[in-house]
Amino acid sequence: MALKLPIYFDHNATTPVDRRVFEAITPYLTEHFGNAASRNHPFGWKAEAGVENARRQIADLLGATPKDIVLTSGATEADNLAIKGVARMYRDKGNHIITCVSEHKAVIDPCKRLAEEGFDVTWLTPDEFGRVSPEQVSDAITDQTILISIMGANNEVGSINPIAAIGRIARDRGVFFHTDATQAVGKIPINVDEMCIDLLSMSAHKIYGPKGVGCLYVRRRNPRVRLRCQMDGGGHERGMRSGTLNVPGIVGLGQACSIAAIEMSDETQRLTALRDRLQAGISAGLDFVTLNGHPTERLAGTANLSFAYVEGEALMMKMKDIAVSSGSACTSASLEPSYVLRSMGVSDELAHSSIRFSLGRSTTIEEVDYVVAQVIKAVIELRELSPLYELAMENTDSTTSA
């Protein structure tokens, strides 16, 4: 089979809609177009049935019950609802929140907003692998702590946090535990009861579902979590999130969860092998390559690599037919290195040279081998222009000869 260009290695950013998901959605765009809140005619009943089936599919993937699932426009809304909702509902019990500096902005920014409102936020620092330890969380808890929010897996480096251990600590100390599991759901097994998770955010478009839909798992008992709603206007979703339900999107989210539940184990093995082939191939052809993130406790499809003496943005420009992500973010004034990598202790120079490769369901061996060859070629060409690389090689040669 001929290689098709361009190649997509940016699945942590978004995924294509799976054909099976698309087929499940289509009837709800045309034939079953009713409003799920219209309960006095068959059009509404059919839409509501699609929504409730999707709730079951989502709940099954998480080890939850359908009534625990609050449907949202995506993980960002779910994060906001969880963090602000808990903080404002339980403010009379405490004003302390624990999170991490390497969280997604959808968690960081709501926490900053709450800090402006007078809440006390503890910002934990991850270790060199991008992980938060249960001991860090335990040490940060006070008698005023009402919420802990730690992500399941990091979007930039793929490192997986010990959320089950953190969840047990939160439960033992009587603190609600929220996890932004946007990158983790569908890639690693999650059971909200076994992991003592009280709130969990996720998004469809990270697991081959459509954009613009997600959900928040909210524990209803042992303990019951109550939220102050962030959007008023009709009392939808148990009064937690008003707005006409996106029926086609929700059906797509449910179908994506159902497929993930069936295929996750085999896909994890396949992607791990492809990821390791990518890393080994690049490392065999280049020196001064560093892996960012945990070597084993990491998402199967994610490899964040730093190429010393090469600028990440320049490397991306060299590989125009490969879609990857850089460790730098363009701002109006400067090119800032990734805050996630900096929080792990990665130097600005290496952070600027990082590339995130995130593989997915459609990734093939042929694509991996092509990307390996193109990365090696591009890095070699860029390093030929770097006096710092030449100096490093001279130092290496002198050390070796000595």
The residues carrying an active-site annotation are 330
**Pick from 358, 257, 352: which is nearest to 313 by CA?**
352
Distance of CA 15 to the CA centre of its chain: 12
**10 Å Cβ neighbour count for 243?**
16
Q: Is residue 246 a contact partner of residue 112, using CB atoms and an 8 Å limit? A: no
Q: Is residue 150 a contact partner of residue 169, using CB atoms and an 8 Å limit? A: no
**Pick from 16, 15, 8, 13: which is nearest to 321 by CA?**
8
Distance of CA 7 to the CA centre of its chain: 21
Distance of CA 132 to the CA centre of its chain: 15
**10 Å Cβ neighbour count for 53?**
17
CA dihedral sign, ordered 317, 318, 321, 322 = negative
Question: Which residue carries 């042929």 as its tokens?
Answer: 366
262 burial via Cβ count (<10 Å: 0-12, 13-18, 19+): exposed
